[in-house]
Structure 1
Amino acid sequence: MAKNRNKKKHNNGVVNMGTGEPIISDIPQAMDTTESGAHIQASGGLIRKMKGRQMKRSKNVRKMKAVVKAIAQNEKSEEKILKGESKMLRTQSAKLLYK
């Protein structure tokens, strides 16, 4: 049998053995049905983790910068499209006023 050399004996303390309230583990509890798996991201979910060999830091930094740049270009093009549409609507409404 193994010796318990590292354990210190501290059995002198007083322990409260309350029997008035049931222990939380004794009370039946509802089953947790929440999913802790994949959460849907509202921002498009462009950032993905890939399994495999770890990348070097410089390669990882380049890749992250490329992702950020692509997102910025996408937002910029969307703003340009909206600006063009609003300009077209303004010119059409101005033409209708003078007819």
Structure 2
Amino acid sequence: MSYRKGPVIGRGSSATVSVATTADGELVAVKSTSCTTSMLLQKEQKFLAKLSSPHVIKYIGFDIDYDNNNNIPMYNLLLEYAPCGTISDALHKYKPHH
């Protein structure tokens, strides 16, 4: 799938998440990490590729490209874009105040 990475929208313990636009104009999320440290992201890809649930972010695909700044091979996991953020974001937003 052809896409163009946009700004970083999140950082986790093993990857950076960017919003991207496909050739069709669709927004997707791209989780990226260096290929040398991509074992967890590759395991996530294998798990998500087998999963189909309306309650889980949809897996779109994966690819390998090169970091523009350092020419480092990067493993990219393409996922459905969730404009409202993560479950953690939602929990913090709607957490009842005591």
- Shorter-chain TM-score category? under 0.3
Higher helix share: 1
Structure of larger gyration radius: 1
TM-score, L = length of structure 1: 0.21
TM-score, L = length of structure 2: 0.21
